[in-house]
Amino acid sequence: MLVAPLPANENERLADLRGLGILETPIEERFDRITRLVCRSLDVPISAVSLVEDDRQWFKSIQGLPVCETSRDVAFCAHAILNDEPFIVEDALLDPRFAENPLVTDDPKIRFYAGIPLSLGNGRNIGTLCAIDRVARTLSEDDIQTLRDLADMVTAELNTIAANETCVKLCAELEQAERAALIDPLTRVWNRRGAMTILEREVQRAERGQTPLTCALVDIDHFKRVNDEHGHDLGDEVLRQFAKTALSALRSTDILSRWGGEEFLILLPECSEPDAQIVLHRMLKKIRDLEFEGERNPFRITASIGMAAFADQQIEPIEAVLKEADRRLYAAKENGRDCIIAQGEHDAFANGALRAG
């Protein structure tokens, strides 16, 4: 195996990358949908937005593998960033640089790799958009153009900041390690501490701007059963898929966080309760549509939601609102699960009138 040499502009390149403030930030739908498109349009099982740091590659988005980083020594992307052209390895077993690479000889058993270098427009490559397969392949000119187009979409996203201002500011203020401490390593969304930090700021912002702010506690139904019947690995996969699917249904300004166990907190800034219900029903539908390959048989999941709003005029203490959301989540469970309970509804709709269709 050959470890990739450092690019001549390594220091400047790393400064570009760190300046983006993107390392150790949560997964974001705007990147996930591009890696999904790579898998779909090139028919590959694995795709990633890989950012190459001094000793590792960190995946801002990855489809097909449950990892968020690997060492730089084994990274195909470390080779790909050495040039500005697409870097293609048609069969890793036939390439002396990669034949002995542990990513090739062991799981995930990479045979094919294609990476388009990503730069911020100055020619310094900070990472790649890559497509990976477990069988040897060749790419046509059209395939390469497709991957280039998708890489352009990644660059556009890197140059445009995320839509939630609070998150952008928070990410910019924190050092990388501080950010990492606010992110849940399994699902790669904000953890409870991260959520509380953002919530405090969003409450202040709602107060200043006199805008609505709604929060929702979401709990995956019968999650214990998933773990018991299908094992913890699949349980983890359910949590990961839940997070990604929820993000794809939420607005880009909404915040998803893992509140603990199988419970998630969603913040919907500038969103009244009725509007939030529309968004959350859309999310529940997407969750219901997910299918998992179980031990013996495929299975599906549902989730229950308790919603509470911070009133426009007078912002209630955070604890009180969260407690209310928690109470309604419990009511949703009582109500038969797979439904949303909002203000004033946990009596009136206790008969199931609000059950999600």
Partner 1 sequence: MESQRLEYLRLTRIIDTPLEDRYEKYTRLLSRVFNCSFAAVSFVDQEREWFKSVRGAVVSEIQADRSFAKLVIESSDDIVQAQNSSLGLGHVIAFDQPPVWLVGTPILIGGVHRIGALYVGLDHDLAAREDQEVLKDMARSIKRELAQTLYHHITQDPIREAILC
Interface ranges with partner 1 (CB under 8 A): 29-30, 33-34, 36-37, 40-41, 142, 145-146, 149-150, 152-153, 156-157, 159-160, 163, 165, 209, 251-253, 270, 275, 289
Comparison of 182 and 249: residue with beta carbon closer to partner 1? 249
Comparison of 204 and 252: residue with beta carbon closer to partner 1? 252
Q: Which amino acid is located at 316 in the chain? A: E
Beta carbon of residue 142, minimum distance to partner 1 (angstroms, whole number): 7
Beta carbon of residue 150, minimum distance to partner 1 (angstroms, whole number): 7
Phi-psi group of 325: left, alpha or beta (phi > 0 → left; psi -120 to 50 → alpha; rest → beta) = alpha
Q: With helix as H, strand as E and coil as C, how does 211-257 read?
A: CCEEEEEEEECCHHHHHHHHCHHHHHHHHHHHHHHHHHHCCCCCEEE
What's the rounded Cα separation, in Å, for the pair 52 and 9? 13
Q: Say whether 293 is catalytic.
A: no
Comparison of 163 and 181: residue with beta carbon closer to partner 1? 163
Yes or no: say if 158 and 34 are a contact pair by the CB < 8 Å rule. Answer: no
Beta carbon of residue 148, minimum distance to partner 1 (angstroms, whole number): 8
Yes or no: say if 328 and 307 are a contact pair by the CB < 8 Å rule. Answer: yes
Comparison of 100 and 173: residue with beta carbon closer to partner 1? 173
Beta carbon of residue 281, minimum distance to partner 1 (angstroms, whole number): 13
**Pairing verdict, β 46-52 and 292-293:** unpaired
Instruction: Determine the Cα angle at 278 with ends 214 and 318, to 5°.
Output: 10
Q: Of 28, 29, 157, 262, which one is the catalytic site residue?
A: 262
Comparison of 142 and 295: residue with beta carbon closer to partner 1? 142
> What per-residue string of b and e applies to 166-194 under the rule 16 or more CB within 10 Å gives b?
bbeebbeebebeebeebbbeebbbbbeeb
Cis peptide before 108 (omega within 30 of 0): yes
Beta carbon of residue 61, minimum distance to partner 1 (angstroms, whole number): 13
Q: With helix as H, strand as E and coil as C, how does 296-339 read?
A: CCEECCCEEEEEEEECCCCCCCHHHHHHHHHHHHHHHHHCCCCE
Yes or no: say if 243 and 188 are a contact pair by the CB < 8 Å rule. Answer: yes
Q: What is the end-to-end Cα distance of the chain in Å, rounded?
A: 55
Comparison of 7 and 117: residue with beta carbon closer to partner 1? 117
Beta carbon of residue 302, minimum distance to partner 1 (angstroms, whole number): 18
What's the rounded Cα separation, in Å, for the pair 54 and 73? 10
Beta carbon of residue 71, minimum distance to partner 1 (angstroms, whole number): 31
Yes or no: say if 338 and 218 are a contact pair by the CB < 8 Å rule. Answer: no
Comparison of 208 and 296: residue with beta carbon closer to partner 1? 208
- Which tokens belong to 144? 């390469």
Catalytic residue IDs:
262
